[in-house]
């Protein structure tokens, strides 16, 4: 269990005749927000920033906050907003196709290896039918911009190729 507070942002996507929820969890230093009002402000800011990476067919469902070292939620807020990106303009991919953003941190493991964090994002587009494995350039730029807001990461990399991520 990480020793930092975290927030999980839950999104939805149509998948195999139903709706599949998926999420990204972000850990942060400096302790958890002090009260529900600060959690709400923080969650709203994260959702507002992440929305820019997705088109309107990706709805945001919930934000869940966790204290350091715990998987017991201390905060939850439901959302009824969707992505607000006007790009990308490529070919939409199946829900299992994902963009991958890798963050390097200054932290070290118990074996002195660098600690990397990864986020997978569904609802992605590729460049064209002739290049179905390349993340669409505009959406890659949106993920790059979003990832750059992480002040704890020493470097960030949005993979230029899409990848596959199974749902639970």
What 3 state SS string does the chain have? CCCCEEEEEEEEEEECCEEEEEEEEEEECCCCCCCHHHHHHHHHHHHHHHHCCCCCCCEEEEEEEECCCCCCEEEEEEEEEECCCCCCCCEECCCCEEEEEEEEEEEECCCCCEEEEEEEECCCEEEECCEEEEECHHHHHHHHHHHHCCCCEEEEEECCECEECCCC
User: Where does the pLDDT of residue 2 fall: very low under 50, low under 70, confident under 90, or very high at 90 and above?
Assistant: low
Report d(CA 150, CA 156) in Å as an integer: 9
Q: Which residue has the higher pLDDT, 130 or 71?
A: 71
Mean pLDDT over 58-77 rounds to 95
| pLDDT for residue 151 is more than 80 | no
| pLDDT for residue 149 is more than 60 | yes
Q: pTM score, two decimals?
A: 0.90
57 φ/ψ angles, rounded to the nearest 5 degrees:
-80, 0
At residue 43, the pLDDT reads: 97
42 φ/ψ angles, rounded to the nearest 5 degrees:
-65, -50
* Bridging pattern class, strands 73-82 and 59-66: antiparallel
Report d(CA 126, CA 2) in Å as an integer: 34
| pLDDT for residue 75 is more than 60 | yes
């Amino acid at each position: 269990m990480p020793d930092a507070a975290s927030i999980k942002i839950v999104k939805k996507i149509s998948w195999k005749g139903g709706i599949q929820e998926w999420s990204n969890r972000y850990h942060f230093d400096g302790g958890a927000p002090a009260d529900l009002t600060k959690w709400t402000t923080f969650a709203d800011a994260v959702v507002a920033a992440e929305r820019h990476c997705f088109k309107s067919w990706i709805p945001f469902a919930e934000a869940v906050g966790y204290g350091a070292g715990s998987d017991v939620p201390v905060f939850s807020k439901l959302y009824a907003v969707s992505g607000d990106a006007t790009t990308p303009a490529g070919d939409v991919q199946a829900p299992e196709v994902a963009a991958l953003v890798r963050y390097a941190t200054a932290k070290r493991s118990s074996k002195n290896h660098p600690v990397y964090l990864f986020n997978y994002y569904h609802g992605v587009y590729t460049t064209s039918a002739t290049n179905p494995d390349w993340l669409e350039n505009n959406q890659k730029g949106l993920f790059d911009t979003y990832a750059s807001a992480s002040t704890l990461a020493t470097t960030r990399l949005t993979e230029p190729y899409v990848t596959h991520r199974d749902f639970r």
